[in-house]
Structure 1
Amino acid sequence: MAWSKSGSRCTWIISIIFFSNVLETWSCIGIPDNHCACVYNDLLIDLNVGDIPVPLVASSNSSDSKDLYTYYVNPCKLLLEPTSLDVNCDKSSLCQKDVPYDDKSSQWYPIGSYTIEYTGVPNRDLQFHYGSQLFEGVYRGSVINIVCDEDQPVETLTFDGEHKLNEEVTEFSFTLRGDACCPIKHGGPNTALSAGSILLILFFVLLVVYFCGGMLFNKIGRGYTGVEIIPNYEFWSDLPKLVMDGWKFTITCGCRSTEESDPAYDNI
């Protein structure tokens, strides 16, 4: 069957939205009341629990003194805790400091706000994304790759690189490695059955009762045999076709295919 162009376009849009939502569920989900922590299935990553020395310090590797920088990171709090490093960094969790050369004094650059978003899953590709901050006409943000290492009790921070996305946006990447980055079994209140899970259980229990009770009633009370003992057999036999029609209508946004379009009127 050939679909109209608008129907095909709607199909692509709905498919993209659907798979985007599915992929989103494959990422670590932040915990509202616990900043710097996220949960994936029954695995919890909580950097607040680990005894991470702050601020973490990393350096860039460059033979040119003009490209030498030191990076200060407090992954779960603002850099002004416990003490302020520089006024430019008081509203940041990550900050960059250049090394003075010639007659130039050191300059501090905020490169990541307190806001965190999470992508990926623990033990594989988990990343903490820190919001971009505008400073001297450039938005600077950072990404920290979270790597579990149970044999490393003291967390280390490594500078991975600086990526200029465009003239106004720069992203810095780091790797945080240590045992505090390892997931633990999540045994908190979030492991309880959700309202959706309870509704699904009730639905399937009632569905079994409906079919078993209806079949017994039709068999014993009405004396039906064969497929007629199934309650509302006509409805259930038509259900696959109804579902197919509904799905077809949805993915085409109600647009009719070229084969289903109304024929032209006959000339009189």
Structure 2
Amino acid sequence: MSHVDPLTFKMKRSRLIGALLCLLFLFASRCDSADQCEEDPNNKGCVCVFDKKNVDLRSLGHKDGTAAFSVVGSDKATYYYNPCEKFTEKDCKDVAGCQEDGRAYRSIGTQDKATFSTADNGAVSIAYEGGNGGRNMVVNLVCKKSQNKPEFVFVGETAKNQYSFNLTSVCACPGDCTENGPSGGHSGGGGSGSHHSKASTIGIPGLVVLSLFSIGVTAYCVIGMIGMRVKYDRTGSDVIPNKVLWFDLPSLVRDGVVLTFTPYRAACNKDHIFLAPSNYSL
């Protein structure tokens, strides 16, 4: 029988445990990547859907060809915006957004080139392209359940000819507005920030994975302890199945993470002999 060096065996076990735990939490944390606000094809740039709940801006825009919002930016230019419906302001013809700097009126985006996007933290925004001279705009939707009167704020020119705005409204909250305005199904007193309430930042699928993992570990411990007590007549801490493994788990996890993500991390045995990863790779 070939002799297995204890340090080599511990490194293998540490690397395996670290890799498995990292994969578990990586999967759980990324399971919410599919949780996007999907655009309603019948209401481009106007309605998107989160888990069967609409973020619906139709009640915020004017339908008479004028802009619903105007704001003076820190650059002293005036910006006009109308959700959902195109409008005309001087030389800005049939646009979603317009910039007036005292010299000219320039389009900064059109309704037919509006696109919803969702950030990792769940924040929804609408990007409008097709403006004059490559100009475009991004409107960040900020959910605030108490904000029945929408607020349009200039954020800044984030890059050359790229303008950012915040639109704070109850209608930025999923399920709280219809085409006719606030649905009345929301409670007041909310605050701005994340546009919708997820069960957590890791998402429902991630919680399911972690819950199943926790249930499995609990069942393993309970059944194992019963078996150790009944079958082997163990008492005290000796009833813990694989006691040495569990007591070593914190250091194994630490070593596993180090060995997994540091390819050439040196490890030293009692004789100060350094082992390269190739000597203990799985």
Q: 1:203 to 1:85 in 2, by over 3 A?
A: same
What is the SS of the residue equivalent to 1:224? coil
Q: Counterpart in 1 of 2:258?
A: 248
1:155 has 2:155 as partner: no
- Displacement of 1:96: 1.3
Alignment gaps of 5+ in structure 1: 1-17, 263-268
For these two proteins, the number of residue pairs brought into alignment is: 210
- Displacement of 1:222: 1.8
Q: 1:38 to 1:87 in 2, by over 3 A?
A: farther
TM-score by structure 2 length? 0.51
Q: Counterpart in 2 of 1:56?
A: 68
Q: Which of 95, 98, 112 lines up with 1:96 in the alignment?
A: 98
For residues 137-172 of structure 1, the C-alpha deviation after alignment (integer angstroms, 9 at most, x for no partner) is: x4433344637373x6453545x365273xxx2232
Q: Counterpart in 2 of 1:5?
A: none
AA paired with 2:127? Y
Q: Counterpart in 2 of 1:201?
A: 211
Residues of 1 paired with 2:254 and 2:158: CA distance? 48
1:120-199 maps to which residues of 2 (within 5 A)? 128-133=125-130, 135-136=132-133, 138-144=134-140, 146=142, 148=144, 150=146, 153-155=148-150, 157-158=152-153, 160=154, 163=157, 165=159, 169-181=160-172, 194-199=204-209
Q: Which of 246, 267, 273 lines up with 1:236 in the alignment?
A: 246
1:109 has 2:107 as partner: yes
Q: 1:141 to 1:260 in 2, by over 3 A?
A: farther
Alignment gaps of 5+ in structure 2: 1-24, 41-45, 177-185, 187-195, 276-282
Q: Counterpart in 1 of 2:55?
A: 46
Q: 1:52 to 1:247 in 2, by over 3 A?
A: same
Query: Does the 8 Å contact 1:56/1:156 carry over to 2?
Result: no
Q: 1:88 to 1:250 in 2, by over 3 A?
A: farther
RMSD of the TM alignment (CA)?
5.0
- Displacement of 1:114: 0.8
Q: Counterpart in 2 of 1:11?
A: none
Query: Does the 8 Å contact 1:37/1:47 carry over to 2?
Result: yes
